[in-house]
Every structure is written in structure tokens, then in C-alpha cells.
Structure 1
Amino acid sequence: MYRRLVLGGAALAVSATMTLTAAPASAAPAFAPASAAPSGVANKLFRAWLADDRTAAAKVATPAAVASIFGYVYRAPDRFAGCSGAVCRFTHTSVRVPGGLDGLAMVVTGSKVTKVYQSRHVTKPSTVATRLFTAWRRGDRYSALEIASTGAVKTLFKVKYDPRGVAYHFQGCTPEPKGFSCAYSYEGGAMLMHVRGTRSSGYEVSSISYLAD
């Protein structure tokens, strides 16, 4: 069973370190006991995905979660990283993907996976910048980790977004050494999101800095 990313109707060529084909079930990571929860629920969905079995997936996940995992563009993660509360992680050890999530994160509610976060293949610097800002505004760290490094997310989330605070204005992205700088201006300064990557490998916000007037 193979999954490939298609952009604009054509298969996208990527480097050897960015394989976009899903690993076969034989390469699955070590699973938690089936009786465990929420790890057991997450692993059931992961196994169903590897088997390309949407019917089995639907038994342990919401329609939105099923659609999300079956749309994952990279090959399957090869390590079960355990659960933190109701969030279970599956990560990559053999390929490099954008963002600090490094694979899949499943949110388990009761007997079903209700949301699947995933590493994203984004082809525009401005898109990763605006998605990261939206994740910060919502207070959603896992969504932020889909398209930004762990360090960038840590820096950004040091301060909680205040809807009654200063207004942020997106100023677009400009080239800088090794990538792009995407700016959000506000009264008294600006926040710069430093974006790295390529169109073929995908972009991520690698770090954040601030300017004061």
C-alpha cells in the first residue's frame, strides 16, 4: 500500500530524505497493548490506516479524524512515542519532515480518536506563517507544531494571544539569507517568522524574533 503526494495534478519529486510514500504494515512501530486506552484506541486507528481499511478506521475514529489520517502525505511514522494524557504520538526516525510534530498526534476522547494532527507539506512561506499565527491565536500548540519547529512554537507561546491587545497586521514575506522573513507588525514593533525549506521539501517556521520601534 503506497501513498503519494500530488500537487497540481502531478507527482511531486522529493529528495531521499523526504519520502512521501507510506511504509507497509510490516514496517509498523511497536504498538501498545490493544486493551490500553487511549493508546489502544490510537494504535487501532494507526493499524487500520496502514492496512488501508477505512471501515476498521471508522470504528475507532470520527469521520474527520479518518479523513485526516488517510490524507497524510508522508510515509508512515515508524515509532510509537506514547501518550501524554489523551494525545498519542507516532513519530518518524528515518525521514525528515517539516515542523516539530514529526509525524502524527491523535486526540482520543472515550473510545474514539476525535482529531488527528499531522506534519504538513506546505509550499508557500506565507501559508506557514499565517497558519502558525492562527494556531497561536487559538492557543493550539499541536496545530502550531504541524508547520513550525519546537523552538519557534516555544518562543511564540511564551505569551498568550490577547484578542483585546495590540492588533497584528500581516506584512507578507521577503527573502533573507537561507529563506524568508514573514512579518506581523503591531503598534510598537513587529514579529518576524523566519521560514526555511523549499517548495519540494515543504516550508516551516524555524524561529521567531521581534523588533521594537
Structure 2
Amino acid sequence: MSRRLVLGGGAALAATATLTLGLTTAAPASARTTAPAGTDASASARTAAQAPAGTAGKLFRAWLAGDRAAAARVATPAAVNTIFSYAFRAPDRFDGCSGNVCRYVHTSVRVPGGLNGIAMTVTGSKVTKVYLSRHVERPAAAATHLFAAWKRGDRYAGLEVGAEAAVRTLFRVRYDPRGVTHHFQGCSKEPKGYACAWSYDGGAMIMHVRGSKATGYDVRSVTYLAD
């Protein structure tokens, strides 16, 4: 003798609803399409990376062509004036962008400092700041430029006149305006170059400058002395 389970009206409706929900929720595998993982994110990342590079490229090409009007369309007046003051031949390689800072570097000539060419800060649709490898004709000018960049916390400005090792050493400690006062003591000759010194309570900081008036001076290293 078999037994059949018969559901009452309310129970039957509930069971039917549950079954129907299960069928409509799980679509057949052939009807489901899956977009490649991260497609939208990857496209957005590429677009974000291309935007600063495109703007920087327009300014760079305008500068190469000597076209200030074209440069002014993609850069602030200060940025245009800065790039048109570059003292060396044009950098020959685009070195990519880090965030909103894009760089063009030299591969065939050596220029002073660790920047090795030109860096541009892109804000929105314009280049708002340009950093340059600089031709500095006095040791003290190179040292004080680097010191001022350190006070502002501006590494790219430091690299304009400082080797990467010198900038890395100096920026290892953030400048504290409420800390010890640095007193510039000038520059004196040392083997192979100049030593430019700042004294402070408890010691001194020495910037070792190399180069010449013809090639330009830059800071190659930074050392410290304790009293």
C-alpha cells in the first residue's frame, strides 16, 4: 500500500512558489555571459595613465617646435616659461609617468643632477609645473637650491641640482621648521670639488659639490658631522 503526501492549499502554494523561484533564479549556463574580470577597471587605469602622458607630450612637442602658442594651450604661463629656458639639448626618451608626473630623460649625454632631463606635473588638462636639469655656474647656487627644495619637501626640485644619492640622503629626514636652525657657512675647496656647509646646534651638514662653470655644478653627496 502506497501513501501519497497531499499538501493543503497554503502549503501547496508555498511549495510551488519555492520551486518557481529556484528555477527562475538559476539561469541556464548557456544563457549566462561573464565579462572578463577587471575589464572596466583596466580600461579606466589605462585612460588615467594616458591622460597625463598625452598632455605632457603635447607640451614637449610644442617646445621642440618652438611653438609657444601651442604650449600655452596645454600649460600654465610659468610652466611654458620654464621649459623654454632649458639649457641643454632635448631629452631623447619618454620615461613614463609616475602618478601625474611625467618625465623625459637623456640617454646620450650627461647633465647635472639626478633628474636627467625634464619632469612635468600635470593637473587636469594642463601642465602646471616643469622641473629641469639645471646648468648652475656656482657651487653655492647648487647647494642652496637643494637646501631650499628640502625645506619645501620637493624631491623633484632637489633632483634638478642633486644626484639621486644626495637627494635620498637629505630627504631621509623631513625638514622641521620648529627644529634646529641651519646656518649657511658658504663653500670651500676640497679634493675634486667644493664642500658647502650648514652648521646647527650639535653638528653640521656638508654638501659635496662637483662640476665646473662650463659643465654646471651639482651636489653629489651629503654628509653630517657631530660636535
**Normalised by the shorter chain, which TM-score bucket?**
0.7 to 0.9
List per-residue Cα deviations over 1:120-144 (Å, max 9, x = no partner): 0000001111111100000000000
Q: What residue identity is the alignment partner of 1:146?
A: E
- Structure with bigger RCO (C-alpha 8 Å, 6+ apart): 1
Distance in 1 of aligned mates of 2:147 and 2:66 = 34
Counterpart of 1:36 in 2: which secondary structure?
A: helix
Structure-to-structure mapping, 1:148-187, within 5 angstroms:
148-187=162-201
More helix by share: 2
CA distance in 2, matches of 1:59, 1:41: 10
Could you tell me how far apart the structure 2 residues matched to 1:172 and 1:70 are?
A: 31
Could you tell me which residue of structure 2 aligns to residue 199 of structure 1? 213
Q: Distance in 2 between matches of 1:113 and 1:211?
A: 41
**Matching residue within 59, 75, 83 for 1:61:** 75
Identity of aligned residues (%): 68
CA distance in 1, matches of 2:205, 2:50: 43
* CA distance in structure 1 between the aligned counterparts of 2:200 and 2:193, rounded to whole angstroms: 23
Q: How far is 1:36 from its partner?
A: 2.5
Structure 2: runs of 5+ lacking an equivalent: 1-46
Matches within 5 A, 1:13-162: 36-162=50-176
CA RMSD of aligned residues (A): 1.1
For 1:176 and 1:137, the matched residues in 2 are separated by: 26
Q: Secondary structure at the match of 2:50?
A: coil
- Which has the larger Rg? 2
2:50 maps to amino acid: A
Deviation string 1:85-113 (CA, Å, 9 cap, x unpaired) is 00000000011000000000000000000
- 2:22 aligns with none
Under a length normalisation based on structure 1, what TM-score does the superposition of the two structures give?
Answer: 0.83
C-alpha displacement at 1:154, in angstroms? Answer: 0.1
Alignment partners' CA distance in 1, 2:199 and 2:61: 45
Secondary structure of 1:37's partner? helix
Partner of 2:31: none
Secondary structure of 2:197's partner?
strand
Matched residues, number: 180
Match of 1:14 in 2: none
Distance 1:153 1:36 in 2: 29
TM-score (norm 2): 0.78
